Structure 1
């Protein structure tokens, strides 16, 4: 047996050119945490995540890494159990589960690299093109609806979906959605991300009624995901398709959304839910119930899982600079195809992430 020999962490902070408003949150910078794991033979795997200003690297080092060291490099699922049980007193959900997710992803990268195959082949998900959603614009009061619509339209050709965030002004949203409904290609669906911005279903339904005829591919994260009944009511009474699940760390919350018929599409954050190991189980479980799954960010990982992916513009963009430090990864042409390179098929720019050395 070849063992996992070391786990290193790094954190990088990249400024945004202007603040982003998403629901009740204001984002002025993007902080990323990353893990680099190595086995005793020197095979290395990586993973990264948005830290959301939480001390992710420290949590990995203090609470998770020790349970992965010495584990079988060819059996990441068994190592996931070791990490979960080893930190169970503090972290079956929440930040510790995110930290487990980071390490788990890096360990699957190692396992696939050791097998000499891309991760999608090791998982048996195939490499057929998957639907891809481009995060295209974040409206703000300083930008007219026409300006935001033009930004979206300039990028939209060929994409399965394009996504914008909700602006709090219903009149603004009515104009913006109207422009996009009229001018987007017929093959491109529009997604509006509320970012958990409504307090309850009554507020959501009242505001949606002011949007006119939205004709959305789906309405994303209208309420906190724990409010499955409220999400189900929005879905039922608005007539809109609903998708919920971003940032959820507790699988029971995602299962409740499906069981309450609260979602048309289940959103899944592969890091937050604890990594590839639990994500595979949830994707299979949702599929058995006829509910498609859409990945929240991290397309370099989710493309291997056989589900829809979400991405920001490749290269430098004003909303999420992650594509600028990813070397390799999947290919996009409006849809996404996972890479044929071994493992996850990407690395992190060493000029951005400086992993601590022993």
Structure 2
């Protein structure tokens, strides 16, 4: 057995060129937390996530890492159980589960690198192109719908879906969705992300009714995902496909969304749900029920899981600077194809994440 020897953490903060507004949230910068795990033989695995301004590196170091050190580097599933049980007194969901997810992803990276195989092969997911979604635009009141539509259309070729956020102005959304429904390539669907922006189903349905006749691949996160009954009602009453599950750390919430016919597409955040170990279980469970799964962010990991992959433009974009510090990973050109290199197949730029100065 080769044991896990060290877990390092690091945090990076990158400003955005302009604030993003999504639902009730305003984002002015992106903070990322990263983990680098090292086995006794020197094999390293990495993972990163949007911290959402939470002290993720500290949580990993204080509450999670100690339960993984010394574990078998080739058995991430057993280590996941150790981490969950070891930290159970402070959190089986929430921020602690996210911290477990970061470490779990890095451990799967190690296991696959030691096996000399890409992670998708180790998981039996195949290497065919994944359904892909480009986060293409965040509308703002000062930009006319035509300008936002042109931004989306300039990027849309080859993607399965493109996504825009909801602006709480029904007339604006009616015009913007109308342009995109007319002008998007026939093979590219449109997703509208409501960002949990409506209080309840009544408010959501009243606003959606003013959008005209929207043709959407799905309406994303209309309500908080715990409002399963509300999501189900929006799905039935609006006639729109619905997706939900972003940021959920409790698997029972995801199961409820499926069991109560509240979603057409289940959204899954591989870090939030606790890493690759529980994610692959949830993906298999949803597949048995005929519900497709779309990954929320973390495209370098979700590409290995055989599910839909969400990403921002890789050549520079004003919404998510993560591509500037990722080296390697999947091919992103409308089609998302996982890499052939061992493990996750990517590294983190040491100029952004300074693990050498981290606390072990």
Bucket of the pairwise TM-score, normalised by the shorter protein: over 0.9
Matched residues in 2 for 1:175 and 1:206: separation? 17
Matched residues in 2 for 1:217 and 1:311: separation? 16
Q: Which runs of 5+ in 1 are unaligned?
A: none
Shift of 1:29: 0.2
Matched residues in 1 for 2:61 and 2:316: separation? 31
The residue that corresponds to 1:101 in the other structure is 101
Matched residues in 2 for 1:268 and 1:89: separation? 25
Trace 1:1-358 onto structure 2 (pairs within 5 A): 1-355=1-355, 356=357
Matched residues in 1 for 2:73 and 2:24: separation? 42
CA RMSD in angstroms, aligned pairs only: 0.6
Matched residues in 2 for 1:201 and 1:12: separation? 38
Task: Kindly tell me the number of residue pairs found equivalent between the two proteins.
Answer: 358
Question: What SS class does the counterpart of residue 130 from structure 1 fall into?
Answer: coil
Matched residues in 1 for 2:261 and 2:328: separation? 38
Shift of 1:340: 0.3
For each residue in 1:226-257, what CA deviation from the matched residue of structure 2 results, as whole angstroms up to 9, or x when unmatched? Answer: 01110000000100000000000000000000
Question: What SS class does the counterpart of residue 246 from structure 2 fall into?
Answer: coil
What stretches of structure 1 move > 2 A for 4+ residues in a row? Answer: none
Matched residues in 2 for 1:335 and 1:279: separation? 22
Task: Answer whether contact 1:315 1:321 (CA < 8 A) is retained.
Answer: no
Shift of 1:177: 0.3
Shift of 1:333: 2.4
Matched residues in 1 for 2:50 and 2:180: separation? 29
TM-score (norm 1): 0.99
Shift of 1:334: 1.1
For each residue in 1:12-56, what CA deviation from the matched residue of structure 2 results, as whole angstroms up to 9, or x when unmatched? Answer: 000000000001000000000000000000000000000000000
For each residue in 1:293-316, what CA deviation from the matched residue of structure 2 results, as whole angstroms up to 9, or x when unmatched? Answer: 000011100000000000000032
Matched residues in 1 for 2:286 and 2:276: separation? 15
Question: What SS class does the counterpart of residue 229 from structure 2 fall into?
Answer: helix
Matched residues in 1 for 2:132 and 2:340: separation? 18
For each residue in 1:199-247, what CA deviation from the matched residue of structure 2 results, as whole angstroms up to 9, or x when unmatched? Answer: 0000000000000011000000000000111000000010000000000
Q: Which runs of 5+ in 2 are unaligned?
A: none
TM-score (norm 2): 0.99
Question: What SS class does the counterpart of residue 89 from structure 2 fall into?
Answer: helix
Question: What SS class does the counterpart of residue 303 from structure 2 fall into?
Answer: helix
